[in-house]
Each structure stands twice: as C-alpha cells, then as structure tokens.
Chain A
Amino acid sequence: MNFSWLKNSLITGGIFLPVFAFAQVEVDTSLMQVKHIDAVHIPIVINPMPLYPVSGLTKDDIEVLNTDDVAGLAAKVPGATVRSYGGMGGLKTVSMRGLGGQHTAVIIDGFQVTNAQAGQMNLGQLQSEGLESADAGLQVHFRKLIPVSANFTGSYLQFGTFMGSHYGGKLKVKSAVRYGSFMRKEAYVQGERAIGNWSVAGFGKYRGAEGAYPFQYVNGSTQTDGIRGNNDYQDMHVGVKLSRIVNGDGNMRVIYRSSFMDQGLPGAVIFYNETADERMKTQDHRLMLDFTKNEYQSNYRLYFNAGANNMDYFDPTHLNATGYLHNTFLNLSMNGGYIHFKVYENVDLKWGGEQKVEALTGNRTTLGVPLRTSSYGLFGAKKMWGRLQAEGLAGVQLVVDNNGESQKTHVQFTPNAKLQYDLSENKPVRLEFLYKRNFRLPSFNELYFGEVGNSDLQPEIAHQFNLGYHWRLVQNYYKWQVDMNAQTFYNRVRNKIVAIPTKNLFIWSMQNVQEAQIYGAIGETRVVRHFGEDTRVELLANYTWQRVIDITQDAITYGHQVAYAPEHTANADIMFIRRGFSARISNNFVSGRYALNQNVPANYLDPFWTLDAAVGYKYTIKNKHKIGVQFNVRNLTNVSYAFIRSYVMPGRHYLLTLNYEIL
C-alpha cells in the first residue's frame, strides 16, 4: 500500500508547525509568494517546474476570468493583498505577503514596467486583454532572463501577452466586443503573422463606461443606497511588435505600446457630501527592444526599455485663489542591460548588468526635477548534487538621487540563496528553502512631494524567508491529477517608509520609522479531472494566513496587525470545459482587517466574500474561424464591500463578450 499521501501530509504539517510556534511567541512573518500551478501542463520532469511550486494562470483561465485589468488576475495569487479604490482604471495595487506594492516587480513580456514617481504601478491601468499567461512568485527561475533590476525586488508579477513570443504562422486575428453594466462598451482586435524570418503583431483597444455604479453602505445603524458618480472612464491601447529570428537561435524584438486614459475620480464616499468632480488623464508610451540568443547551454539577452508617462490632474472646484488645481507630471525612464546564463561543468552561472535613468518633471514648483540613476550588477550560480540543488544570487545596486542641489547616494546589496531538494527521482515532489534580502527605494513623491516629501528617506529593507513543499498528490489516477503546495514564510521589514503627521494633523511627512514582521502560511491546490479528450473539470483553491505586525519600538500599535492586512484570504475557482463550452465559478474571501494600524473596533473593516460566475461557448467553423460568446456576472450575490474604507466596490454587474477569431 502506498502511503505517500500520508508522508506528504505529515511533511506539510511539519512546515506549518514553525508558523504556529511563531504565533505563540509573537514572531512574525513575511510575504508569501504566489503562483498557480497549471496542473495540465506541468511536466513530470522537475527541472522546468516553476521555482516555487505555485500556480500560474493559463490562457484558458485568463479568458474565462475576463477581468477588467491585471489586478483582477493578481488577486488570484495566494498571499496577494489587493488594494482597490474601485472602478475601471481606479488605483489598484497588490502587496505580496505583507510587503508593500513597491516590493513587487511587474514584468510584461520580459520587460519590467516601473513608475519612479509613485514607486509602484497602478495595475488598474494595465489591461488583461491579449494575455496568455500570468504567474507570480518570489524569484523567477534561474534560467529566465528577466531584466537584472527585476531580480532585486521581493516578488514579481509576470504577464505574457501574445506579442511576447515569435510567431511563425500565417495570419491570425482575434477580436472582441463587450457590453456591460454601467454603460460599458469596448472593442478589441489583435493580429499577427509571419513573413519569412520576420513576425509582426499588433493590437488596438477602446473602452468606455459611464461608470456610475450603485452601492450600499452602512451609515451608523442605517443601510443606505448611493450612486458612485464622476466615475466615467475611457481608455485606448495600441501596440505593435516586430520580431525576427536571427541565425536560427537568436530572436530580436521591437515592441511599442501606448495607452491613453481619461477618467473621472469619484473619490471616497463621504457621508452627506456626494460631490466629486476631479479628473485625471494619463498617457503611457513604452518602447522595448531586445535580442535574445539561445545557444546550446548558453543564453543571453540584450535589452532596452524606454518609457514616458504623462499624468494630468484637474480639480475644477479647488478652493484656492485660482479656483482650480491643475497638476501635470511627466515621468521618464530608460534602462538597458545585459544578462547571460551559461551551463558549465556541474555549475550554471548567471551574470548581468543594467543601467537605469529615471526623471520626473511637473508644474509643481516644490517638486523640483528629480533625477535618479541606478547601476545594477548581478552574479549567480547554481549547482546540483543529485536531487539537491543550491542556488545563489548576489546583486549590488548603486543609486544616485539628484534634485537641484540635493544629492543622495545609496548602495544596496541583494543576496539571495535557495536550496531545493527533490524527494523523488520520478515524481514531482520538492522541498524548497529561500532566503532573500531586498529593498525598495523611496519614490519621487515620497522624497520630494511638497510638505509630505522627505529627501532624507532611506531605502526600506526586507529580509524574506520561505519554506515550501510541493508535490503531486495524484497523477493520472482514473484521469485525476492533484497538485498541492504548502509554504510558510517569515519576513522582517525595517526602515519602513510610512506617512505620519509631524508638525500637526494636516502636515504629514514620509518617515523611516516603522518596523514590521510578517509570518504566515499558504496552502493551495489544483485538481484536474479529465473526461475524454476535450472535457475536464478543474478546481483551483488557495488559502493564506498571515500576520503583518507592527514591531516599531515604543509605538502605540506595537504588536498590532498593520492596516489593511487581512489575516485570512482565500480563493476557490471551479472551471468546467467541454469542447467549446466553458463555465467558471470564482470565490474570493478577505477576512476582517483594520483601516488604521490600531486594532480597535472603530477601525475594523468587515470581511467579505465575493462570487463571480462565467459561462462561454466557442464554435469553430472549418478550422478557420472561431466565434464565441461569454457572459460574466461579477459579485453575483450583490454583497456590499470595500477593500479600502470609504471606497465602495460595485454590486452585482454583468459583462457580455462576443469574440471572433481567424485561426
């Protein structure tokens, strides 16, 4: 009798035990990492598996989820805490395992997307259309040639679009139109084709919505209805890609993307005052070039990435002398680098360097003209002894911040180490341990924005420890496949950058004052049952428990759970696919949390559980054309909820999608 399941369960229990011990002695954790395992596609061979046995979202998942933006996908990641201010295009950030959103690198098609002004990307402005993969974790696979700077963050969110890889076939076109609640309408088209060694691809998208959604909120002991006004939204995205295969094993890519957004800012729901009239326009332009060479046992990549982000904020009723407030900002960034992976005898090596320049200009005279130059160096090695694998990465970053006469220099090191042991020679059963030191630099806003800015800020430092265990519980047993993943983590953050009132309640300033420790555990599974060639049922579920604790010496909130960090989060999705038909039920649970660091009833935010549903059907005509229809219902049970206090989310709403593809 095979008791491997028992052994695995016990080992998993062993992983979780230290976490509970930490809970007892008030030690803390760190951020966790997330990925979903695509049980269908994971090969038996251990080596190509994701570094951390988490899951990724497949193209099927992404299509059926049909989210408004990539934040909707990131929310599926265990350990991710979404902060959404609501609405299409509304500010959405994701923090992983209790670390701030600035500790997470966002990578699209192998290029990191950054914003030095805010320090983190607004995931609400990154579209999910055209995505073919999404995964997340603490550290990408050793062989992956992501930009050098992306190795310096605490975690990553990685998205792959149809333009990410070289396409060698004939013309393919995919289009969609959507109609939805709140007068939402959109159109999307993408196409790609090969011409000899060349491949060209492009897409265009328009989306608009009046956005005024009804909501409910509790005022005292009274349930009240409201309409979230000034929430209109329009955006347009275009992109082109040209790629070429060079000498059979080289690939050159040039990608250009532009986004234009025009939106009302509904602001917080303020009791008795429903006025809102601020607006924001954003333009984002990015040019990306790279050349990748995949030789036998040696891969390298040269890359270059330039971006310009223009933000225009307008408040037509500001109570100042001019009667309005109009701020404009232009964020510029440029980086280029080289990264190389090579297999030597018994050891794999990886090295690279990168140079980055970021600048900000604006019409706020107090902001100055911040300029940041960063130089990165990276060296790593990986060695295997049988089923044991050790890996180390050492990075150094030199940062010079200039603004007028002010100049600050930082040097930071990011040593990472990972041990991985495969418990079986022929089954995917793996034990992993990771240590990682990372940091995040203060953003330009945190350094220089009016009275809030503090040019003396130091980088925020995080130490991360992660212990993970991944195994395939069932494989091809009556067409069942079950993958399991358990992780426990501990993070310690010092020099945490937070805004606190200094001179008085109205004058807040950024300070390096807080320390936090984070500990927790993750459990996740993906279960697949096949019924013949073209029918399957999938269950994807994860649960995260995390304590994100303020351990700032002498703080009134010492030992309290940090604001907006839920102790429990969970996802559970069930998907049924049969030929062209698909159906999915998605559940998301976020436990109660606090709007401020002090854990008192007045700051408590209720837990919420949301349920989404989707059904779709695609029909193929003569293997050349495919037409499809999909219907999504979001917040099926019409619950009233908010990620952030006073920023209510919409109730039940609908989205109808019609697709047409030329195969």
Chain B
Amino acid sequence: MKYFSLIIGISILFSSCQEDDPQTFVPNVDHLEKGMVVLCEGLFQHNNASVNWVQLPGGAHDLNFFETKTGRSLGDTGNDMIRYGGKIYIVVNVSSTVEVMSAVDFSPVGQIEMMANGQPKQPRFMAASNGKVYITCYDGFVDVLDTTTLTIDARIGVGENPEGIAVSNNKLYVANSGGLNFPDVDSTVSVIDIATNTELQKITVGINPGAVMANDAGEVFVISRGDYGGVPSRLRKIDATTDQVVNAAYSFDISGMSEMSSTDMIVYDANGVHQFNYQSDAVVATIPLNMATIHTLYGIQYHETEDVFYVLDAMGYTNQGVIRKYDPSGTYLSGYSVGLNPTKLLFFD
C-alpha cells in the first residue's frame, strides 16, 4: 500500500510541475492610435512572420494582429513595412506577397502575389513616391506598384539580388547585393529614373551593399556589408545630383542606420549606437545605451513624439523578440515582448 500511495503522490506532484500558459492581453483594436505596429520577420520556412500591435506606453498587445484582422497568417519571412498615404504595405519575402492594410484600422485592403513566370519574385524592401511603391525583388527587378489600383505597373531590371531602396532627387537608388553569389557578391547601386522607369547607371560603392537611406537634403547613404570576415561593413554616401560616391572613407563599423531628424541619423552595430550628423559628415555623439541590456541588436528606431529610442532586440534570433525603450540619456524605460525577430516599427500617436 505504501508503494501505491507513493506512486499516486508522486504522480500528483509531477502533474503540478506543468507550466501555465502565459497570459496575454489582447485588446480589441479598431483604430490605430497611441501604439505601434511591429513587423516580426519570423524564421525561414516556419510561416511565422507576424504583425504585432503594442499599445503605448502600457504595452498591452496583440501578437497576432494580422491574423486578428484577416483570419489568416502573414506568411513566411516579413522583411519590410512602410506607411504611405492611407495604407500600410508589408513585404513578405518567402511567401512572395505584399500585404496592403488600412493605416486607420489595419483592416485588410489587398494581397498582391509577387510571382513572375510562375516563380516567386521574393520581394525584399520598399520605398514610395508619387503614388507608387517601389519594391526590390530578389530576382533582379524593382517592381512599381500603383497604390490606387494595387497592380504592378512595371518591372525595372537592376543588378542581382537587390536589397535596400531609397528615393532622392526623383531617382531610385537600389543596392545590388548579389548575395546569392556569395562570396562573389555585387558591389553596385543602381540609379533609376522614376519618370521613365529605366536604370540610368550603376555606381560602385563597395562589396555587398544592403541598406539604403536618403535624408532630406537628398544625400543617399548605403551600407556595404563587406564579406562578414576581413572586409568590414562600411557606410557610403552618394550625391544624388552627381550620382557619385562622395565619401568612401567612413571608418566606423556599421550594421544598420535609421532616421532620427532632418539633421541627424542613427548608426549602430553590436558594440554601440551613435548619432551621425549630416552637416559635419561624421559621428558626433554616442547614444549611451547600456549594450549589456540588449541581447541581439536587430534594429533601432527613434520616436520623435516621445523623444525615445526603441531598440529591436532579436534575443538570439530564435526566441521571442523584445522592443526596449530608452530615453536619450540611455536610461532603460521599459520592454515589450513581441514576435520572432522584430524588424520594423510604425508609430501611431
């Protein structure tokens, strides 16, 4: 009998060891305000890209915001998200789709299948201008999406495996990474005339170009990511008037950049976050974030209304991400749990 009792007792004990499911508060969001929309890439072949809604500053969230609004999943590998006009555009790379949502209540507007000749175009990044959204596609094109009809008007041939894209001086600047030829990667940026949808030239900027960004003055910044070994990742600048690389000698390491103000941008890598001033053409300050509080720096965005920095922490890339908020003095304010590999934020004040 004592054995029997022991077995029963320990079985009960064992049952008590089960973990409770985490509790999540899911607000019924019918208007995008006082919060942020978070695009999370997910992982390749897991179909777990997601869009999250996080209310600010409280942090109540819906980690399946896209599903809540559409009844279906976002798909595989969400790469980019922009707000343009009254709509939000989301690029889903492996699923090869562009999802279009309302920027008012996030209701679905349409899904655009990005296929060419029966093959996925593999869209990557976007930029918008003059009623068009320009989408880089890994098959070597930039697609022109009409934002009224939600149809692809044109395909513009560029280099291999284009990544980042920006608009300046009525031209598109597209980074040709050639990433699928690694280690023989590309090193050029294509310049496209928006009026004619034709490539004007290719500018050599350094191997493996990735992110592209333009400031209000029309200067175009490109990150040439090197070979992840001996050749470091470096910032390049293109004069959008002459389409020449005007400074190829920035010496700081960089893995990403994002807008901060009309005079400055944020540049960062795993070792630190800095303020780059356009006029002085140099890093002018270090934003004193305690990097030890960040597990895997995957992005950073400045929110002007709150005057805070939001750090996108990928938490080792295989765990749920965290959006961490810091004030300009580097003080950690709060953290918000989100999906896997957060990559883009849109703020709604």
Contact = CB atoms under 8 A, between A and B. Distances in A.
Are A and B a genuine interacting pair, yes or no? yes
Interface of A: 10, 13-14, 16-17, 20-21, 23-24, 219-222, 267-273, 275, 317-321, 366, 451, 500-501, 503-505, 507, 556-557, 595-602, 645-646
A556 B13 contact: no
Interface size class on chain B is: 35 or more
Interface of B: 3-4, 6-7, 10-11, 13-14, 17, 19, 21-22, 41, 43, 45-48, 50, 63, 67, 70-73, 75-76, 92, 94-97, 111, 113, 115, 118-120, 122, 138-140, 160-161, 178, 180-184, 228, 255, 295, 298, 314-320, 339-341
Contact of B70 (A14, A20, A220, A504): A220
Instruction: Give me the 7 closest cross-chain CB pairs, A-B, nearest first.
Output: A220-B72, A320-B180, A268-B45, A501-B317, A20-B10, A271-B75, A272-B95
22 contacts: A10-B3, A13-B3, A20-B11, A23-B13, A24-B13, A268-B47, A269-B47, A272-B95, A272-B111, A273-B76, A273-B97, A273-B115, A275-B119, A319-B122, A319-B180, A500-B317, A504-B228, A504-B255, A557-B319, A598-B318, A599-B19, A645-B46
B41 A505 contact: yes
B118 A219 contact: no
A558 to B, nearest CB: 11
Contact of B316 (A14, A271, A500, A645): A500
A219 B318 contact: no
A318 B180 contact: yes
Task: Give the most central of B50, B161, B182: most A CB within 10 Å.
Answer: B182
A556 B255 CA distance: 24
Q: Chain B interface secondary structure, helix, strand, loop or mixed?
A: loop
A273 B120 contact: yes
B47 A271 contact: yes
A399 B111 CA distance: 55
Contacts of B97: 272-273
Given A20-B11, A270-B75, 4 more contacts: A13-B6, A220-B72, A273-B94, A319-B122
Contacts of A646: 45-47
Nearest to A218: B73
Contact of B7 (A17, A272, A317, A507): A17
A20 B339 CA distance: 34
Nearest to B318: A596
Nearest to B77: A270
B198 to A, nearest CB: 22
Nearest to B186: A321
Contact of A273 (B71, B96, B181, B341): B96
Given A320-B160, A597-B318, A270 B48 contact: no
A196 to B, nearest CB: 58
B17 A503 contact: no
Contacts of A23: 13-14, 17
A270 B76 contact: yes
Nearest to A317: B119
Nearest to B72: A220
A5 B139 CA distance: 69
Nearest to B99: A272
Given A14-B3, A20-B13, A221 B314 contact: no
Nearest to B255: A504
B95 A273 contact: yes
Given A10-B3, A14-B3, A556-B295, A601 B119 contact: no
Contact of B48 (A275, A504, A602): A602
